Structure 1
Amino acid sequence: MASTKTPPVTQAAEDRPTAGRSWFVVVSLSIAAATATIQQSAVLPLLPRLQQSLHASVTSVSWAFTISMLCGAIATPLLSRFSDMYGRRKMLLLTLGLLVAGSVVGAVSTSLSMLIVARVLQGISAAMIPLAIGAVRDLLPPEKMASGIGILSATMGIGVGLGFLLSGVIAEYSSGYRSVFWILAAMSTAATVLTALAVRDVRPPTGGRPDLPGAILLAGSLVCLLLGISQGKSWGWSSAGILGLFAGAVVLVTLWVVVERRTAEPLVDISMITHRGTVGASLASMLLGFALFAGFTLMPNFVQTPKQVGYGFGASVLGAGIFLLPTTLLMLVVSTFAGGLVRRYSASNLVAAGSVVAAASSLWFVARHDHSYDLYVATTLLGLGVGLSFAALGTMAVEHVEPSKTAVASAVNSLSRLVGGSIAGSATAALLASDTIKGTQVPTVHAYNTSFSIAAACVILAAVIAAVFGRLNRKPAR
């Protein structure tokens, strides 16, 4: 068995940047993480254009989004484990390099198959947030660590919102889709340079052998799960194909757990996943991921609905992005204060409080959605609630694990959010498609109310889970 001994704390402390340089580390990694997240949402508003430009069906073009999430789900735990084995800096630069390559391929793509290759390369960048959190925990002094992790954790929501805005601007002033990929290529190149300048490894790699059987089984189970979720609407939730995929996911994940428990150097330490110090953060992250992606999926659809059907605002793609601007800005603002709040109130309490505010956002929409200011209130509450929760979740996920396992713990947390977001996208699409105005394919306002009610229930449950696990993990007073 390869040694997993970590270097003395004093050595890591000596190699950490000074307080004056800490901001550069956080800003550089935040730009990289936000860029990696932007690519997830920037494609969504452009799907109709992709269908037209590439002469493909709606189902085929939807893979431009689905394949990115599938690859991200697989890459997140794998690259996080590799960062412990081979060094965080190498994995960060590799991830960003693949994002640059994928963006360039997307910008010059002339066929759907070429675009899918681009999205596979881009999707791997979903591992960026846990890799960055691991680097921040290694590099920053203790008094700045919570703030740094909070800002990085919030970049998921910030990036999603900026992705919609980017697509909105492109849709407003151009007729194609390639400009988005060229902009992503430029942003990811700049992020690569900044990361190369800001990050260095202060802990020697642990080494070891890659857990290939574990990686294959985990990849297979995630592919089955997310493919089943993403295709449930088109294939039919009770069809043999969907039921077979879900059954396959259960079988493969069971085999994965068995293999990981018997492997000397597993891809993911199963005991860490089931530990009471991390499982609460993972469950809350999945539920909050559902609420965030539900909001970012439902709100643009709602505001772009023509007023003639009895609701909606007939907004453009750019207008829809502007409606979501309060969420994006507040997630950024709240994350900057997260460090001080975590030190004062504890991460689990802040996750619980933020979840309650996020629930208020969904419930506000259910009660009031007739005027534009109603939507701005809802997106403001969503930004406050999810921003606070995500910023604190980054700390909640890693505060009870060894420093050498930070990246893996962050990866599990990010993976939970990714799965929650995937479920949100498919579930809300199914709800909207099943409850339409008679004689049309336009969803009823009742369908939106039902979807937001489910989102509210999810974040209320997240609040309960965070509060309970926070109490269980509370250190006894001395």
Structure 2
Amino acid sequence: MTTTAAAAGPTTGDRPQAHLGLTLLALCAAGLVVSLQQTVVIPLLPRMITQLDTDVSGVTWLFTASLLTGAVSTPLLSRFGDMYGKKPMVLTTMGLLVVGSIICAFADSLGVYIIGRALQGTSAAMIPLAIGIIRDTFPRERLVGAIGVVSGTMGVGGTVGLLVTGLIADHTQDPHPVFWLTAALGVVAAVLIQVSAKNNGVRHGGKPDYLGAVLLAGLLICLLLGISQGPRWGWASGSVLGLFAAAVVLTAVWIFVELKVAQPLVRLPLLVGPQSLSANVASALLGFAMFGSFTLISNFIQTPADKVGYGLSGSVLAVGLYGIPSAALMTFFSFRTGRIAAKIGPAYTLAIGAAFAGASMAWLAISHDHGYDMVISQILQGTGFGIGYAALGTLAVRHVPMSESGIASGINSLVRTAGGSIAGAVTASILSAHVIAGTQVPTLNAYVASFAILSIGAFLTAAVALGHGLRHKGE
């Protein structure tokens, strides 16, 4: 492997602190836009079922498509970042987000929306690229705090996206203005990155693993399609069993390819190595819990209690308003978790955050009849995901050499978004399988089961993180 260009490691000895602050602000702004685009569509899903003449399983792909392409593009664009520089790749992700947003802003069919959402989803690679920029440019003593803040924007932006959509949807039935907004914010973030971030760091030669990317996309599509369509086609049908079998075969071929190619899309030691495995499992489980909760809570709030006997009879705006406590707490803890992680370690910090997140879903599984139940759950959720995501960004890269921080963070983001996409398919499958007779409305028990599953996912995250901390104490 050849090494070219720029100096390795942080180069901030004479860099003004104000400029570092501007760089961090720009990276946070880009992170907020990326996470915002992932969730802005969620409050609109119940409304778009009617507008697009589809069902819960079909419309969920407006959310799942974004996560799916994010999972595939993250390691690929992270690799490009190592080859050509992280700043150009961050600008590329912002450009794809803007293009996808514009496509959605003109869309009038489910298929066109899915294409636009898929392009938007590629921007998920921005977070590991941003963490790479931080490790290339920030002094060592500021790394943990800066990475925590940028990682924390994933939860903050996601919750803010729900509020922004609610405010817009309260004035119009047309979903297109939401996408014009994400396009505009993407342009603003790109300009901030262009004027503030530096393209430092070691660059490596070689070529991307396109075959690995295609195989990864194929196995995820087969898995998610099988899960989401199981209730409609029948779990024992040839189509569903064929999709699961194809996912298994493609996974085996993908692993074989990744072990054989000189520069794989995903370096398996960074995926399943001694310290990487538990960090990545925790990331997948936390992504499962967080992204799954966004779609589930939005649908539950908008369910009309007077017609089906449960729900909060809220509007799209109500979804965002209920999310204010969560957004505020995520913002608060994303700026303070770095100090906690520096004292007790990111693994134990992640365990604390995941436990709060698990409690938020457990609360709704047990008590969900009143608005204050949702408020309590949102307080627990904001605390949990604010702490958890900020700690996760540090845990993913602390054990790898500086030169591999970008790809390690990319792999961690891959499994997180893959976990989120699986959550969307799983909850859609449960809600589609258990409906009130004569309608397409899910039963209350379907929601309770989904909340319980997400809660288990978050509590498992806490257990994995705790085990990681105990096994690698002092490392």
**TM-score by shorter chain over 0.5:** yes
Answer yes or no: is 1:30 the counterpart of 2:31: no
Give the residue type in structure 2 aligned to 1:118: G
2:420 — aligned with what? Answer: 421
Distance 1:109 1:16, change over 3 A: farther
Q: CA deviation at 1:32?
A: 0.8
Distance 1:199 1:278, change over 3 A: same
Residues 43 and 299 in structure 2, CA contact (< 8 A), matched pair in contact too: no
Of 77-86 and 263-272, deviating more is 263-272
Give the residue type in structure 2 aligned to 1:462: T
2:116 — aligned with what? Answer: 118
Task: Provide the C-alpha distance between the structure 1 equivalents of 2:248 and 2:278, rounded to a whole number of angstroms.
Answer: 21
Distance 1:313 1:214, change over 3 A: closer
Give the residue type in structure 1 aligned to 2:348: N
2:450 — aligned with what? Answer: 451
1:392 — aligned with what? Answer: 391
Q: What's the TM-score once normalised by structure 2's chain length? A: 0.93
Q: CA deviation at 1:431?
A: 2.4
Q: CA deviation at 1:49?
A: 5.1
1:93 aligns with one of 74, 87, 91: 91
Distance 1:328 1:12, change over 3 A: same
1:194 — aligned with what? Answer: 192
1:355 — aligned with what? Answer: 354
Give the residue type in structure 1 aligned to 2:159: G
1:184 — aligned with what? Answer: 182
1:336 — aligned with what? Answer: 335
Give the residue type in structure 2 aligned to 1:397: A
Deviations 1:82-119 (A, max 9, x none): 11111101111111111112222222335555434322
Task: Provide the C-alpha distance between the structure 1 equivalents of 2:14 and 2:236, rounded to a whole number of angstroms.
Answer: 54
Aligned residues: 473
Q: CA deviation at 1:14?
A: 4.4
Of 96-105 and 16-25, deviating more is 16-25
1:153 — aligned with what? Answer: 151
Residues 96 and 191 in structure 1, CA contact (< 8 A), matched pair in contact too: yes
Task: Provide the C-alpha distance between the structure 2 equivalents of 1:25 and 1:208, rounded to a whole number of angstroms.
Answer: 29
Q: CA deviation at 1:25?
A: 1.4
2:105 aligns with one of 104, 107, 124: 107
**1:65-76 alignment, distance < 5 Å:** 65-76=63-74
Residues 276 and 473 in structure 1, CA contact (< 8 A), matched pair in contact too: no
Residues 16 and 139 in structure 1, CA contact (< 8 A), matched pair in contact too: no
Deviations 1:34-80 (A, max 9, x none): 21122222123334555665x55346655433332222221111101
Q: CA deviation at 1:469?
A: 1.4
Residues 232 and 426 in structure 1, CA contact (< 8 A), matched pair in contact too: no
Distance 1:85 1:229, change over 3 A: farther
Q: CA deviation at 1:21?
A: 2.1
Give the residue type in structure 2 aligned to 1:57: T
Identity %: 44
Give the residue type in structure 2 aligned to 1:348: A
Q: CA deviation at 1:130?
A: 1.3
Answer yes or no: is 1:300 the counterpart of 2:298: yes
Residues 146 and 338 in structure 1, CA contact (< 8 A), matched pair in contact too: no
1:323 — aligned with what? Answer: 322
Superposition CA RMSD, Å: 2.3
Distance 1:114 1:299, change over 3 A: closer
Deviations 1:152-185 (A, max 9, x none): 2222222221222222122110121211111111
Distance 1:6 1:225, change over 3 A: farther
1:205 — aligned with what? Answer: 203
**1:357-376 alignment, distance < 5 Å:** 357-376=356-375
Task: Provide the C-alpha distance between the structure 2 equivalents of 1:6 and 1:275, rounded to a whole number of angstroms.
Answer: 29
**1:253-272 alignment, distance < 5 Å:** 253-272=251-270
1:19 aligns with one of 2, 17, 20: 17
